[in-house]
Amino acid sequence: MNMKLLFQDAAGFAVPMLAVFAVDIATGDDAEPLPALLSTSDAVTNAAAKVMASGEFKAGMGETLLLHAPGGLKPERLLLVGLGKAKSLSVDEVRKGGGVAVRIAKLRSLRTIAIAFPEDHALSDEHLDALPGPLVSRALVEGALLADADYDTYKSDRKDTSLLTLSVVAKEAERSARAEIQEGFDEGVIVAEAQNFTRALVNEPGNVLTPTVLGQRAAAMCAEMGLKCEVYSTEKLHELKMGAFWAVSQGSPEPPALIVMTYEPVSGKSDTPVLGLVGKGITFDTGGISIKPAEGMEKMKYDMAGAGAMIGAMRAIAQLKPKVKVIGVVCSAENMPDGKSFKPGDVVTAMSGKTIEIVNTDAEGRLVLADGLHYAKTLGCTHLINAATLTGACVVALGMVNAGLFSNDDATCERFQAAVEISGEKFWRLPCTDDYRELIKSQIADIRNTGGSRWGGATTAAMFLKEFVCDTPWVHLDIAGCAWNDEVKPWIAKGPSGIAVRSIVEWVRSYSA
């Protein structure tokens, strides 16, 4: 897509469709909606005046109304996009609004559109708190690019409905303000393209995206972006004594892939942390000998979404160039039932030397992460973050709205939560305190890989991982419930979400400030 940021009057911009945002400025829970445009253009306001006064359009989140041949405007169509209540407006609603505009354009086979930059100063402070311009422009372009992607990749009659040109049109501003808005716009393009890169990986079927192919795609991305990349397989796992990772791999004819991506800053302080990004890359998960039910198993191609998030984050990091070293580690394998598969009751030895009793072979993601997290520490990482579609228990606890967040260090967790304020993604912190450790004790080994059928499955998985990070500051993201959109939303297609990419990138950048 050709993305442009223009500083001119949107009303005079000749384009098939111009999208303008609106909010509901009514106060009180029972008050009638009172829609107001986030635009100071008299021409745009006049063109929409009748419908805004009619009560037909209420400016609810994701609500739209399309006007054809709007009087006094050069655009052929004027699309009003609601962002919900003014007082609850944040940059995330702007992100979704940008997505809504693009999805509406795609439904009408429009390949060129413009979106008017939301002017919060169109309303008084009484109705709307000011939003930071750079974050608004970033969110707007992120929403638009994320909405443009569709995942009907292998349909034989597939038609490309992607936009050819998207223009974000802002009013003339002082040079400093223009520079800030442009910076946010450019960052939005980088981050959204990285998230879409992740989504494309997660969408691939297991017969296409094997661990080997995932390694090849990561290496190709690194070569393009100037990152160092090393991809290892079975021999390296044995050399490093990654017994937990290898146990998961051994039941499949597809060899595992240990992917190591490294970003070196051009300049940085000697005391700057080294950040480790570790992703679970199970390219297909049958559950192994503890096999899953057949219903819904086709979605288990998404079990590498954590790895995809780390690869996408590294892509954005390479372009944003934070002043901190970052090492991405992906542990990729298939979990298959076979005569060579690991079995319930087996005891394996992780790279750290800790022994693990296998209670359930479907608790395999934590095994590959155990070796990945320890390996990242041996590479010099001083702070760790991992992402994984790890537990169904986290989905039961939080549903499909929030992903799980665990940490052994409050300061590191708070830094991540600050990053989420920028990314707009939703994470909810759950406990992994030492009083839960009893649940993963084993009679025969150091620990076991599940807490059995008892309560707290998301936390026991986090407690297992905590054994391998020890005192290293660490964040664990359980994204099982949010890595796949089961339903079409007004601002994004059904399919892979690419969750965690934006938050991980912001977490990394926070160490560069």
The whole domain housing 161 covers 2-171
Q: Which residue among 147, 171, 195 closes a domain? A: 171
What is the arithmetic mean of pLDDT over 53-80?
Answer: 96
Name residue, tokens 């992994």: 432
What is the arithmetic mean of pLDDT over 425-451?
Answer: 96
pLDDT single digits (tens) 192-235: 999 999 999 999 999 999 999 999 999 999 999 999 999 999 99
Catalytic option among 106, 138, 217, 366: 366
Percentage of residues of the chain with pLDDT beyond 70: 99
Output the pLDDT for position 434.
Answer: 93
pLDDT exceeds 90 at position 401: yes
* pLDDT band at residue 176 using 50, 70 and 90 as cut-offs: confident
List the beta bridge partners of residue 228.
262
- CA–CA gap between residue 215 and residue 328 (Å, rounded): 12
Output the pLDDT for position 473.
Answer: 98
**Cα angle: 224, vertex 228, 229; to 5 degrees:** 90
Output the pLDDT for position 125.
Answer: 79
Name residue, tokens 């039961």: 396
User: Are 106 and 237 in a shared domain?
Assistant: no
User: Are 167 and 230 in a shared domain?
Assistant: no
282 dihedral zone (left: phi>0; alpha: psi -120 to 50; beta): beta
**Coil, helix or strand for 383?**
strand
Whether 182 is covered by a domain: the verdict is no
What is the helix (H) or strand (E) element at residue 349, kind and residue range?
strand 347-349
Q: Which residue among 171, 190, 221 closes a domain? A: 171
CATH code of the domain containing 393: 3.40.630.10
pLDDT exceeds 90 at position 72: yes
The mean pLDDT of the chain is 96
Question: What totals of helices (H) and strands (E) does the chain contain, helices first?
Answer: 13, 20
User: Are 373 and 238 in a shared domain?
Assistant: yes
Output the pLDDT for position 173.
Answer: 81
Measuring CA to CA, which residue among 82, 15, 12 is closest to residue 47?
12
Return the sign of the alpha-carbon dihedral for residues 202, 207, 212, 213: negative
pLDDT exceeds 90 at position 126: no
User: Are 110 and 228 in a shared domain?
Assistant: no
As for how many domains the chain has, the answer is 2
Whether 485 is covered by a domain: the verdict is yes
Measuring CA to CA, which residue among 131, 144, 25 is closest to residue 95?
144
pTM of the entire structure? 0.96
User: Are 210 and 329 in a shared domain?
Assistant: yes
User: Are 147 and 261 in a shared domain?
Assistant: no
493 or 513, which is more confident: 493
Catalytic option among 292, 323, 489, 494: 292
Query: For the CA atoms of 129, 132, 138, 140, what is the dihedral angle to 10 degrees?
Result: 30
Whether 351 is covered by a domain: the verdict is yes
Whether 330 is covered by a domain: the verdict is yes
Output the pLDDT for position 268.
Answer: 66
* pLDDT band at residue 312 using 50, 70 and 90 as cut-offs: very high
What is the arithmetic mean of pLDDT over 39-47?
Answer: 96
Q: Could you tell me if 308 and 498 are in contact, meaning their C-beta atoms sit under 8 angstroms apart?
A: yes
Output the pLDDT for position 373.
Answer: 98
Q: Could you tell me if 214 and 281 are in contact, meaning their C-beta atoms sit under 8 angstroms apart?
A: yes
Output the pLDDT for position 419.
Answer: 97
What is the arithmetic mean of pLDDT over 496-510?
Answer: 98
* pLDDT band at residue 453 using 50, 70 and 90 as cut-offs: low
Whether 195 is covered by a domain: the verdict is no
What is the arithmetic mean of pLDDT over 433-452?
Answer: 94
DSSP string, 170-210: E----HHHHHHHHHHHHHHHHHHHHHHHHHHHHHS-TTTS-
* pLDDT band at residue 454 using 50, 70 and 90 as cut-offs: low
Q: Which residue among 118, 151, 171 closes a domain? A: 171
User: Are 60 and 209 in a shared domain?
Assistant: no
**Coil, helix or strand for 411?**
helix
Query: For the CA atoms of 182, 185, 190, 192, what is the dihedral angle to 10 degrees?
Result: 180
Measuring CA to CA, which residue among 6, 3, 2, 422 is closest to residue 178?
6
The strand pair at 325-335 and 257-263 is best described as antiparallel
Query: For the CA atoms of 211, 214, 215, 219, what is the dihedral angle to 10 degrees?
Result: 180
Q: Is 366 a catalytic residue?
A: yes
User: Are 305 and 215 in a shared domain?
Assistant: yes
Query: For the CA atoms of 496, 500, 501, 505, what is the dihedral angle to 10 degrees?
Result: 170
Whether 189 is covered by a domain: the verdict is no
- CA–CA gap between residue 288 and residue 337 (Å, rounded): 4
Q: Give 119-123 contacts, CB < 8 A, sequence gap 24+.
A: 119/38, 119/39, 119/40, 119/171, 120/38, 121/40, 122/36, 122/37, 122/38, 122/39, 122/40, 123/23, 123/25, 123/36, 123/38, 123/86
CA 122 to chain centre: 32
Residue 79 identity (one-letter amino acid): L
Q: Is 437 a catalytic residue?
A: no
pLDDT exceeds 90 at position 121: no
pLDDT single digits (tens) 331-374: 999 999 999 999 999 999 999 999 999 999 999 999 999 999 99
Q: Could you tell me if 96 and 141 are in contact, meaning their C-beta atoms sit under 8 angstroms apart?
A: no
Query: For the CA atoms of 66, 68, 71, 74, what is the dihedral angle to 10 degrees?
Result: 100
The number of C-alpha atoms within 13 Å of 98 and in the hemisphere containing its C-beta is: 29
User: Are 120 and 212 in a shared domain?
Assistant: no
Whether 179 is covered by a domain: the verdict is no
Phi, psi of 480 (to 5 degrees): -55, -40
pLDDT exceeds 90 at position 455: no
User: Are 52 and 95 in a shared domain?
Assistant: yes
Give Cα separations from 388 to 86, 134, 297 (angstroms).
Answer: 35, 31, 17
Contacts of 13 (CB under 8 A, 6+ apart): 6, 74, 75, 114, 167, 169
User: Are 108 and 244 in a shared domain?
Assistant: no
CATH code of the domain containing 42: 3.40.220.10
- CA–CA gap between residue 130 and residue 132 (Å, rounded): 7
Whether 357 is covered by a domain: the verdict is yes
User: Are 167 and 298 in a shared domain?
Assistant: no
